[in-house]
Amino acid sequence: MLIKVYTAALQGIDATTITIEVNSSRGIKFFLVGLPDSAVKESHERIISALQVNGYKFPSAQIVVNMAPADVKKEGTSYDLPLAIGIMATASQIKSDKLSQYIIVGELSLDGSLQPIKGALPIAINARQKGFKGVIVPIQNAREAAVVDKIDVLGVRNIKEVINFFNGEIDITPTIVNTREEFYKNQTNYPYDFAEVKGQESVKRALEIAAAGGHNILMIGPPGSGKSMMAKRLPSILPPLSLKESLETTKIYSVAGKLSRDSSLITCRPFRNPHHTISQIAMVGGGSTPQPGEISLANHGVLFLDELPEFNKSVLEVLRQPLEDRRISISRAKYSLEYPTNFMMVASMNPCPCGYYNHPTRECICNPGQVQRYMGKISGPLLDRIDIQIEIVPVPFEKISDTRKSESSAAIRERVIAARNIQEERFADEPGIYCNAQMSAKHLDRYAEIDDKCRSLLRNAMNRFDLSARAYERIIKISRTIADLAGRESITVQDISEAVLFRNLDRSTWQKIG
């Protein structure tokens, strides 16, 4: 008897339908073909135990299972449940009339209970696209999959429920999630707020400009000056996620298995803070079992690299292409995947190994050679992709002890949203460009033209501070964002003057020592 059951395999952040064909004949052997990995092959033992514990008998026959298409690698344990259902159906212990209507996924425990799987959301999206009536998933993944509408999402606890459902002995109520209500309800729940930050007005201004224009930013300052504290608050002033951005980010977290049981959507912009010992694969993704890396988990959010020079240089260099293309292509001998990497990079560093170069009260004990080696860990091409470089000094006691609240994140966010709306309208006819940070040289000529007064000021600033050539375009981009925040159509001298302040590492004082 030949039975077909449908499941899905993950490829990047998308899913593809897998057809499980089960045929039984006289004999006692079990064959599993179709490019399964070792975890899929081990499902045989889990299925036998799960069926026995729940009072079912594994068929005494020769069973051949084919997982098609055969050229797609089947990895992981999410195939346990569909394999078990197919085997039971070919032995006529399950009615097969409804099998073709559902995609089935789930990992079996030895007692027949189901463990959560990765990628329930893209699997549900694939099921709807392919015209299936519904998906059967572990109960832990039901809310995640139920984000997809116009499809029945059946959350089950054990294999017995699935068998009884197909035999018509029970009904399973579909899980329903009001996606829009869920999305808007938690959209502004941020754990940190700029109202809690004392002083550091210039740094807060730099972060506001970075958020408004999508600029990458580097903060340089001594230990304890507040770099990490302010970086953690940056997501609270970014524009709220759109529903499309939320779904794309949720797919990534679903594939990575990082969605909590009770969550259905990522509603706030992610903030990722990897340790400086991170490997290249953990940063960009991939591995023997492909997984999204930190740069993809930060998609539509913030990637914070604390103590930037302490990261392995090879790890920092692999960031260059994703920062430009907003996507990462991972090609290996056995697979080729693509993950989105549309993140904002925020980095922090000490000015020298001891941390006190340029400190107003403490003396630096590093010699010029040590500082040069420390700063040399960050390559010029990577610095080229960081528009804003701001120096931070410790907050004086008078500011720390001030009990008055600073400006809230909500107030700053309103100005950022207004500036982003201007940019959205400006780049409406420019595919792939959505903020000032993404402008190329041709876009600068069209959307960020400066007059003779601005050009003269910029020339004087570059000569006086001995700014590098890389600073020129960056200053104009930042000026465009400053003008947008002020609601001005044209860049003014004041905008150029402020933008020059945000290129600290290009100045001669840093170049000579660092």
Q: Distance between terminal CA atoms of the chain?
A: 74
Instruction: Report the distance separating Cα 124 and Cα 147, nearest Å.
Output: 9
Query: pLDDT digits over 57-76, tens only?
Result: 999 899 999 999 988 889 89
Q: Which residue has the higher pLDDT, 340 or 468?
A: 340
DSSP tag of 140:
G
Q: What is the pLDDT of residues 312-369, one digit of tens each?
A: 999 999 999 999 889 999 887 777 889 999 999 999 999 889 888 878 788 888 888 8
Q: Is the pLDDT of residue 377 over 80?
A: yes
Dihedrals phi, psi of 415, to nearest 5 degrees: -70, -40
- Min mean pLDDT across 38-52, 205-219, 390-404 is at 390-404
Q: For all residues of the chain together, what is the average pLDDT?
A: 90
Q: What is the pLDDT of residue 513?
A: 43
Q: Give CA–CA dist 22/280, Å, rounded.
A: 41
Can you tell me the distance from the alpha carbon of 461 to that of 382, in angstroms, rounded to the nearest whole number? 23
Per-residue pLDDT reduced to its tens digit, 114-143:
999 999 999 999 999 999 999 999 999 999
Q: Are 270 and 317 in contact (CB under 8 A)?
A: no
pLDDT at 512: 45
150 CB-contact burial (10 Å; exposed 0-12 / middle 13-18 / buried 19+): exposed
pLDDT computed for residue 369 by the predictor: 84
* Structure confidence at residue 340 (pLDDT): 94
Residue 216: φ, ψ to 5°: -70, 150
pLDDT computed for residue 514 by the predictor: 40
Burial 41-76 (b: 16+ CB within 10 A, else e): eebbebbbbbbebeebebbebebbbbbeeeebbbbb
Mean pLDDT of 378-399: 83
Say whether pLDDT at 222 is over 50.
yes
Give the three-class secondary structure for 14: strand
Give yes or no for residue 423 having a pLDDT over 90: yes
Name the phi and psi angles at 157, rounded to 5: -100, -30
Segment among 230-239, 247-256, 468-477 with least mean pLDDT? 468-477
- pTM value is 0.89
pLDDT band at residue 99, thresholds of 50, 70 and 90? very high
Q: Could you count the other beta carbons within 10 Å of the beta carbon of residue 215?
A: 25
Do the Cβ atoms of 327 and 340 come closer than 8 Å? yes
Beta strands in 415-462 (DSSP E): none
